[in-house]
Structure 1
Amino acid sequence: MTRDTKLILCPVNLRHLKWNTGAYEEAVAMARRRDAKLIVATVAPEMERNLNIRDSGAYWGNELKKFITQNPAEGVELETIVRKGSVHRQIVKLAAERNVDLIVMEAANPKIQDYLLGTTASHVVTHAKCSVYVVRG
């Protein structure tokens, strides 16, 4: 028996999008096929390295809107969310709060070539109560 997937979460790391948007593209395709709503989320750091960013929530919210404008998810109901804190914990927390059916995410930071699965993806796979689809870059 197949599961009914109505809500998909796709966390995106806006700092690494120039390398790969595969997970987002896969999440959009899955949402279309399953007639599911898609939540695209990003997690802002508690403290920005760039001191010019005074309101990280607003800054990353605008960056996320730009990303969605450049990569539209036509035919998919879409919601964007910005969280602050530890990326791996915020993804799991958001999935639990929203009762997400599926998380679609990248395998690793593209700069890290030595790991089979990134630490964020490993944590999410281990701790999420829903299914997790990991996309390799």
Structure 2
Amino acid sequence: MYSHVLVPVSFDVERDSAGAFAVARLLADDNGHISLLHVIEQVPGYAAAYLPAGYQSEARKTIEARLAELAADLPNASTHVIEGHSGRTILDWAESHKPDCIVIASHRPGMQDLLLGSTAAKVVRHAACAVHVIR
């Protein structure tokens, strides 16, 4: 169906990641590529001063290793870890890498979210390609 499927991975909704991976696997062509993307949010300067030395680089290594584990179960998958604001950065990455479809998990909503989490909502509203939301 799709030659390139993007799956943004947020470890706070990891329980839904398995569903996103299953959907991505179904939506990707036989030779389709699946990109797993994790966005590391910037730590504000005032908070970074309280983190132990090397915390951010160690956290990045841990995230990269976890993504590699997840990608091992997906055919023709690659992993990408970038920094930025999650919603905007996912859209920017998608604009430059041109996936055919984005499969994104949305956390269970609270009153402030109503229907979709803020990241998923932003991606749905502004993506230039198809978006499949997993609940």
Post-superposition shift, 1:68? 3.7
C-alpha root-mean-square deviation of aligned residues, in Å?
2.5
Post-superposition shift, 1:39? 0.5
Whichever of the two has the greater Rg, that structure is: 2
Post-superposition shift, 1:86? 0.4
Number of residue pairs the alignment of both structures matches: 128
What amino acid maps onto 2:56 in structure 1?
A: S
Aligned residue in 2 for 1:66:
66
Structure whose residues are more often helix by fraction:
2
Post-superposition shift, 1:35? 2.8
User: Distance between the aligned counterparts of 1:97 and 1:65, measured in 2?
Assistant: 24
- Matching of residue 9 in structure 1 with residue 9 in structure 2: no
Post-superposition shift, 1:34? 4.4
Q: 1:1-137 alignment to 2 at 5 Å?
A: 5-17=2-14, 19-21=15-17, 22-31=19-28, 33-47=29-43, 51-52=51-52, 54=54, 56=56, 59-69=59-69, 72-74=72-74, 76-108=75-107, 110=108, 112-114=109-111, 115-136=114-135
Say if 2:13 and 2:105, in contact at 8 Å, map to a contact too: no
TM-score normalized with structure 1 length:
0.77
Q: Which runs of 5+ in 1 are unaligned?
A: none
Structure whose residues are more often strand by fraction:
2
Structure 1 runs of 4+ aligned residues shifted over 3 Å read: 52-58
